[in-house]
């Protein structure tokens, strides 16, 4: 047990001005963290206890599914990253490590970087240590600090520059084994978040710069989340916005036949979808072709959408480029012969088609059939453009952002969209990293093969705040049992009274013997202050001793989630407290 006077819980009556969301405000008001700078936080004693409890729950579930804990350096030689497959994409989010003498005749590249994840460290290590199929599978994990150069750190621990993460890396000899390892981690994650008291949804996710064949994010539904999840209760379909698709184009859809000859018409000053939709032209957005120009690994490519649709940039990762960005007007005009606003992909109208890496069309443009697009000539558009007959399409794909109400790809029922917080992400990586680093094993026929990898991350510090975001009320935090800094708070209303203090010890010992962590509030404060702080820090069970109750031979017991207060006879204290603690632990 711990006495409040012997630890440090600096509660605040008011929320700091820079705290925007409930969980961020409560992190600060309950004395769990203190801000050092943008995206940098000190964990105060109570906050550290929560981190330690979440970390231990994570360890237990990882170990249950065969994880092997280790610890790798946070400072990485830059050579490891340059040798790996994602240096060009990852370098902008990484902190470079400077040191004495830096810049004096040295290379512009840093010698070391601070690790955001550890694929580039674990893969060379496994390469040097494991050579035979007999030593596979293996799944190594660690819990430690990571660093990412967040341009706009916000919402406290939700988007920080320094954060605590569990990262794991599996190595298998076969694709079937790698899939089994993946599902073990998915199972471990579901069990972990459940024990943390979090309601999560596992959604299909984009693999992004990490790469790999498929991935899932574990999302906590919350209005303040940074991500959108698309789901359908009827079918169980769920995906994040970057991965989500819909049944907008039916599988049996028949492409439209041409409705007439191509017709060019003047549109002076019209350079937007909205302008072409307005009078006097009146071409509805869903009847326009939107032609976007991007640079992929230094080469231009086109993406064609309906005018009413938005591009989901993350989906461009399916095209195989390591890096992509929007092209500038200076890069566009030499290739298409026009500036943005008058662009199109009609066969024969592109000035320099051989310069393009491809023309990629979203499936939904088939719904237009015959529409209007830019003529690759300033102030001109073309109507009666037939998708099959007229557009120079290299390949098709899903590039648009899904909207609420579109048909679910499984059931056809309307899709719903909600905001959510990502707390975990798992990837089946395949051989992207093992091939780069030469991490191979020898099979029983002495043949060499690259190991098949997976990687798995949990934001430990983000999980802490997600719990608060999901579990709070107007008075403060409502901690789930297993992650509360202490589970039982014994409030001594008269710490100067020996009998009151003695009873508090007895109650605390009973709760501790039953398996609870106990905090005794022995401060010389008014009862109102103690009760306010008790609700603010949100421990699950409160036992109050003192005042008239002590004279009557009773104490008060109140659950944080309940409005009513129970009066318990002191003679029954041990049995009642033991039963309450054990029931709470078993139901959590």
User: Residues 83-87: what's their mean pLDDT?
Assistant: 92
Lowest mean pLDDT among 196-210, 326-340, 474-488: 196-210
Report the Cα 380 to chain-centroid distance in Å. 44
Closest CA to 69 of 78, 61, 81: 61
Q: Output the six-digit token pair for 138.
A: 């293996």
Whether omega for the bond prior to residue 217 falls within 30 degrees of 0, making it cis, is no
Binning pLDDT at 50, 70 and 90, where does residue 211 land? low
pLDDT (0 to 100) of residue 323: 87
How far, in Å, CA of 355 to CA of 335, rounded?
Answer: 7
HEC string for 373-385: EECCCCCEEEEEE
Where residue 363 falls (left for φ over 0; alpha for ψ -120 to 50; beta otherwise) is: alpha
CA count, 13 A, side-chain hemisphere, 123: 27
State whether the Cα torsion 495-498-500-504 is positive or negative: positive
Eight-state DSSP code of residue 415: P
CA count, 13 A, side-chain hemisphere, 11: 16
CA distance from start to end of the chain: 21
Q: Between the CA of residue 251 and those of 248, 310, 394, what are the distances in Å?
A: 9, 22, 20
User: Residues 487-509: what's their mean pLDDT?
Assistant: 96
> Is 300:332 a contact under the CB 8 Å cutoff?
yes
Report the share of the chain in percent with pLDDT over 90.
89
- Look at residue 106 and tell me whether its pLDDT is greater than 70: no
Where residue 79 falls (left for φ over 0; alpha for ψ -120 to 50; beta otherwise) is: alpha
How far, in Å, CA of 482 to CA of 588, rounded?
Answer: 7
Task: Give one DSSP letter per residue of 89-107, joined into a string.
Answer: HHGGGSEEEP-TTTTSS--
pLDDT (0 to 100) of residue 226: 83
Whether omega for the bond prior to residue 137 falls within 30 degrees of 0, making it cis, is yes
Residue ranges and CATH numbers for the domains of the chain are 20-225+418-468 (3.30.930.10), 265-307+316-396 (3.90.960.10), 486-587 (3.40.50.800)
Helix (H) or strand (E) holding 83: helix 78-83
Where residue 303 falls (left for φ over 0; alpha for ψ -120 to 50; beta otherwise) is: beta
How far, in Å, CA of 455 to CA of 529, rounded?
Answer: 47
How far, in Å, CA of 34 to CA of 43, rounded?
Answer: 7
pLDDT (0 to 100) of residue 213: 64
How far, in Å, CA of 163 to CA of 152, rounded?
Answer: 15
pLDDT (0 to 100) of residue 395: 96
Binning pLDDT at 50, 70 and 90, where does residue 105 land? low
Closest CA to 540 of 473, 486, 465, 471: 486
pLDDT (0 to 100) of residue 207: 61
For the stretch 225-280, pLDDT in tens is 888 999 999 999 999 999 899 999 999 999 999 999 999 999 999 999 999 999 99
Tell me the backbone φ, ψ of residue 182, rounded to 5 degrees: -60, -45
Closest CA to 29 of 16, 44, 17: 16
Closest CA to 429 of 452, 458, 449: 452
pLDDT (0 to 100) of residue 370: 96
Q: Between the CA of residue 226 and those of 67, 100, 101, 158, 272, what are the distances in Å?
A: 30, 39, 40, 9, 29
pLDDT (0 to 100) of residue 98: 80
For the stretch 281-312, pLDDT in tens is 999 999 999 999 999 999 999 999 999 999 99
Eight-state DSSP code of residue 211: -
Which residues, in sequence order, are CB contacts of 144 under 8 Å at separation 6+?
A: 71, 72, 74, 164, 165
Binning pLDDT at 50, 70 and 90, where does residue 88 land? confident
How far, in Å, CA of 115 to CA of 265, rounded?
Answer: 56
- Look at residue 101 and tell me whether its pLDDT is greater than 70: no
**Helix axis angle, 460-470 to 45-64, nearest 10°:** 110
> Is 356:334 a contact under the CB 8 Å cutoff?
no
For the stretch 140-198, pLDDT in tens is 999 999 999 988 898 999 999 999 999 999 999 999 999 999 999 999 999 999 999 99
Closest CA to 467 of 516, 426, 421: 421
Q: Output the six-digit token pair for 116.
A: 């955001």
Q: Between the CA of residue 273 and those of 276, 359, 566, what are the distances in Å?
A: 5, 20, 65
CA dihedral 510, 513, 516, 521 (to 10 degrees): 40
Binning pLDDT at 50, 70 and 90, where does residue 102 land? low
What is this structure's pTM? Answer: 0.87
pLDDT (0 to 100) of residue 208: 59
For the stretch 378-395, pLDDT in tens is 999 999 999 999 999 999
Eight-state DSSP code of residue 320: T
Helices and strands: H and E segment counts in the chain: 15, 32
How far, in Å, CA of 198 to CA of 588, rounded?
Answer: 11
Query: What average pLDDT does the chain have?
Result: 94
For the stretch 55-66, pLDDT in tens is 999 999 999 999
Q: Is 436 exposed, middle or buried (0-12, 13-18, 19+ CB in 10 A)?
A: middle
């Amino acid at each position: 047990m711990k006495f409040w006077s012997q630890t440090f819980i600096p509660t605040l009556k008011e929320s700091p001005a820079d705290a925007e969301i409930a969980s961020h405000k409560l992190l600060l008001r309950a004395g769990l963290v203190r801000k050092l700078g943008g995206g940098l936080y000190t964990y105060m004693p109570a906050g550290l206890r929560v981190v330690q409890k979440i970390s231990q729950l994570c360890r237990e579930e990882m170990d249950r599914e065969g994880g092997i804990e280790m610890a790798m350096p946070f400072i990485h030689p830059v050579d490891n990253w340059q040798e790996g497959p994602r240096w060009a994409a990852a370098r902008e989010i990484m902190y470079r490590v400077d040191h004495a003498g830096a810049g004096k005749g040295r290379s512009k590249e840093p010698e070391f970087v601070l690790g955001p994840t550890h694929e580039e460290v674990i893969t060379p290590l496994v390469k040097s240590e494991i050579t035979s199929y007999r030593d596979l599978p293996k799944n190594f994990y660690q819990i430690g600090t990571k660093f990412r150069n967040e341009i706009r750190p916000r919402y406290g621990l939700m988007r920080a520059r320094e954060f605590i993460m569990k990262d794991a890396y599996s190595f298998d000899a076969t694709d079937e084994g790698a899939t089994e390892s993946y599902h073990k981690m998915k199972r471990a994650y579901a069990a972990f978040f459940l024990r943390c008291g979090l309601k999560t949804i596992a959604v299909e996710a984009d693999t992004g710069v990490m790469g790999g064949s498929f991935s899932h994010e574990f999302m906590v539904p919350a209005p303040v989340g940074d991500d959108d999840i698309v789901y359908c209760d009827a079918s169980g379909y769920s995906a994040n916005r970057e991965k989500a698709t819909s049944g907008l184009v039916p599988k049996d859809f028949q492409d439209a036949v041409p409705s007439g000859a191509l017709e060019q018409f003047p549109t002076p000053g019209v350079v937007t979808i909205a302008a072409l939709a307005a009078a006097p032209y009146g071409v509805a957005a869903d009847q326009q072709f939107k032609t976007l120009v991007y640079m992929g690994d230094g080469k231009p490519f086109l993406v064609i959408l309906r005018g009413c649709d938005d591009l989901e940039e993350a989906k461009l990762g399916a095209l195989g480029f390591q890096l992509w960005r929007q092209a500038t007007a200076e890069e566009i005009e030499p290739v298409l012969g026009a500036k943005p606003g008058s662009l199109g992909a009609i066969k024969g109208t592109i000035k320099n088609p051989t310069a393009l890496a491809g023309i990629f069309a979203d499936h939904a443009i088939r719904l237009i059939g015959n529409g209007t697009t830019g003529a690759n000539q300033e102030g001109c558009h073309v109507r009666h453009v037939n998708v099959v007959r007229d557009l120079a399409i290299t390949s098709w794909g899903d590039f648009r952002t899904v909207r609420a109400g579109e048909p679910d790809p499984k059931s056809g029922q309307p899709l719903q969209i909600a905001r959510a917080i990502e707390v975990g992400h798992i990837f089946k990586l395949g051989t992207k990293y093992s091939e780069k680093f030469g991490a191979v094993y020898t099979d029983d026929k002495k043949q060499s093969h690259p190991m098949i990898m997976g990687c798995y991350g949990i934001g430990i510090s983000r999980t802490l705040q997600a719990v608060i975001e999901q579990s709070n009320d107007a008075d403060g935090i409502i901690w789930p049992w297993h992650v509360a800094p202490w589970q039982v708070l014994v409030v001594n209303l008269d710490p100067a009274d020996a009998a009151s203090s003695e009873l508090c010890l007895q109650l605390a010992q009973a709760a501790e013997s039953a398996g609870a962590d106990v905090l005794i509030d022995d401060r010389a404060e008014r009862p109102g202050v103690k009760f306010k702080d008790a609700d603010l820090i949100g421990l699950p069970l409160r036992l109050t001793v003192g005042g008239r109750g002590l004279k009557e031979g009773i104490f008060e017991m109140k659950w944080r989630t309940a409005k009513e207060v129970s009066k318990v006879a002191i003679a029954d204290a041990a049995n009642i407290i033991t039963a309450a603690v054990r029931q709470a632990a078993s139901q959590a």
